[in-house]
Structure 1
Amino acid sequence: MRILLIGDIVGKPGVRVVTTALAGLRQREQLDLVIANAENALDGSGLSPTIYKKLIAAGVDGITLGDHIYRRNEIASVLNSESNIVKPANYPAKAPGKNFAIIQAASGERVAIISLLGRIFMKPVDCPFTAADRVLSEIPAEVKIRLVDFHAEATSDKQLMGRYLDGRVSAVLGTHTHVTTADEQILPGGTAFQCDIGMTGPHDSILGRRIDRVLETTITFQPTQFDVATGDVQLHGTIVDVDSATGRATAIRRIVFNEDPVN
């Protein structure tokens, strides 16, 4: 089966390119399942029930989140009630949301999705390695296909998680930095890995925010509003092919869709 994980969706431009491009991408790439990291989908930070519904209606099957998960209080109701959206599994047990989700793909196979947060250069959280062990023990053995979105800052953190879970999950794909890495590979145990799958949103920017505003604050220390940028909107993601019988990855590749073909 073929799975696409869409990199961090940033603001209205990111939501727009997903909603306009995804139907064509699903057909062109013969995708069985689409997962998206949507923690920055609402004005560049957080997710709302309205945007959640818009992404699902556009063809996103499941949603992962990260350290900005609770920027909008209203998302808690969605996290508690819906079965296709997950919180980072190394957040406290009482935090709103589910530690994993099992989603049925268009091809009929069931796929488990997990979100984890890294610890290097991030706010303090529980050990992601221990959380991964706990969650994997809770997923039914017959669900062979397991996808991990590791939302982390340091490439070393991400590489460690890839090696730690090699052979136990189908893919460990990194998010959070908004910058695509070119290290996609299949590890010896059959786990697809990439440090970061990139950003879906305006690339004429600093990580999705207006260049002038970020520069002004950086140079002068004067606070400004880091508004979401608007130019050069692209969808970045990674496609993983998985053997449904074993759960092992057989191929991995990056994709880029430009909203404006001239760019």
Structure 2
Amino acid sequence: MRVLVVGDVVGSPGRKTLEEYLKRFSSNYDFIVVNGENAAAGFGITAKIADEFLANNIDVITSGNHIWDKKEIYTYLENSERLLRPINYPKGVPGKGYTIVESKKGIKVGVVSVQGRVFMPPIDCPFKTLADVVEEMRKECKIIIVDFHAEATSEKIALAKYMDGKISLLYGTHTHIQTADEKILLEGTGYITDAGMTGSDNGIIGMDNNSIIPKFLNCLPQRFEIAKGMERLNGLDVEIDEETGDCLRIDRINISLDQIEMM
């Protein structure tokens, strides 16, 4: 099974770049997962954007700490099987942290959204929470994909090795910087510390320079604005064994909008 993973989509530049990529290449993939927590002007996602993503051949939308930024999404989360919030938020919060849906081939695929705790808001343990839900999911499907929305590289690789052989793929999101450490772990789990960002590469992790640099200079609150220009798509092209759930191949995608439009 060939899977496309797309790193954090940031604002309209990210959405445009993703749309252009999917127009040309979505038919190459059996399953598509996109992190959409920054899709609405860099903070959160709206119901309209979520519906547009799902209508554009995206199978599951994962997220992270910014999923709560648009209050309208709370009701949407309650009624959706394909837009996920991190599974390890306390009981009672809106939405679901995992789902099992069928690929284009009719094969069941599990997807989990989970959030780290190092340098992040204090929530439930990602290790114990993920292990428990994966144990249940494996009764129904062999292919399980995990988006670990976390800051610390050590926490990301630790969770991947803790779950090695129990899941097909664990990739990091949140930092918006694609790492170059893609690998298949000893027991067959694909891994990368961060899948990267889809949006403008003309700013600072998707935001305009002039709205970010002053915050470092004066330490005062600053209104962030979306950067424009030099758009890129970051993500992963992954091959997973349909019988065993093992990762067979993991390749980074790092392509500009200009390159996409020339294809």
The TM-score range, normalised by the shorter chain, is over 0.9
In percent, how many aligned pairs have the same letter? 39
Q: How many pairs were matched up? A: 261
Cα deviation, residue 222, structure 1: 4.3
Whole-angstrom distance in 1 between the partners of 2:260 and 2:243: 42
Partner of 2:93: 95
Q: Counterpart amino acid of 2:51?
A: K
Indicate conservation of the 8 Å contact 2:20/2:260, yes or no: no
Given the two structures, how large is their TM-score scaled by the length of structure 1?
0.96
Q: Counterpart amino acid of 1:131?
A: T
Greater mean deviation of Cα atoms: 237-246 or 222-231 = 222-231
Whole-angstrom distance in 2 between the partners of 1:224 and 1:122: 20
Alignment counterpart, residue 42 of structure 1, candidates 40, 43, 54: 40
Q: Provide closer, same or farther for how the CA distance between residues 164 and 106 of structure 1 changes in structure 2, counting only shifts above 3 A.
A: same
Cα deviation, residue 137, structure 1: 2.5
Partner of 2:208: 210
For each residue in 1:32-85, what CA deviation from the matched residue of structure 2 results, as whole angstroms up to 9, or x when unmatched?
A: 000000000001010100000111122211100101111111111221111112
Whole-angstrom distance in 2 between the partners of 1:210 and 1:86: 28
- Aligned-pair RMSD on alpha carbons? 1.5
For each residue in 1:216-262, what CA deviation from the matched residue of structure 2 results, as whole angstroms up to 9, or x when unmatched?
A: 22113344321010111111101211101000000000012311239
Q: Counterpart amino acid of 1:153?
A: E
Instruction: Extract unaligned runs of 5+ from structure 2.
Output: none
Aligned positions of 1:78-117 closer than 5 A: 78-117=76-115
Indicate conservation of the 8 Å contact 1:18/1:58, yes or no: no
Whole-angstrom distance in 2 between the partners of 1:253 and 1:261: 18
Indicate conservation of the 8 Å contact 2:37/2:43, yes or no: yes
Partner of 1:22: 22
For each residue in 1:97-121, what CA deviation from the matched residue of structure 2 results, as whole angstroms up to 9, or x when unmatched?
A: 1121111111111100001111111
Instruction: Extract unaligned runs of 5+ from structure 1.
Output: none
Partner of 2:227: 229
Given the two structures, how large is their TM-score scaled by the length of structure 2?
0.96
Partner of 1:5: 5
Indicate conservation of the 8 Å contact 2:21/2:260, yes or no: no
Whole-angstrom distance in 2 between the partners of 1:58 and 1:219: 41
Greater mean deviation of Cα atoms: 124-133 or 253-262 = 253-262
Indicate conservation of the 8 Å contact 1:99/1:135, yes or no: no
Whole-angstrom distance in 1 between the partners of 2:225 and 2:39: 13
Q: Counterpart amino acid of 1:24?
A: R
Q: Counterpart amino acid of 1:234?
A: R
Partner of 1:125: 123
Q: Counterpart amino acid of 1:14?
A: G
Q: Counterpart amino acid of 2:97?
A: N
Whole-angstrom distance in 1 between the partners of 2:90 and 2:219: 35
Q: Counterpart amino acid of 1:133?
A: A
Q: Counterpart amino acid of 1:261?
A: Q
Indicate conservation of the 8 Å contact 1:89/1:135, yes or no: no
Cα deviation, residue 23, structure 1: 2.6
Partner of 1:167: 165
Partner of 1:247: 245
Aligned positions of 1:171-190 closer than 5 A: 171-190=169-188
Whole-angstrom distance in 2 between the partners of 1:9 and 1:262: 16
Q: Counterpart amino acid of 1:20?
A: E
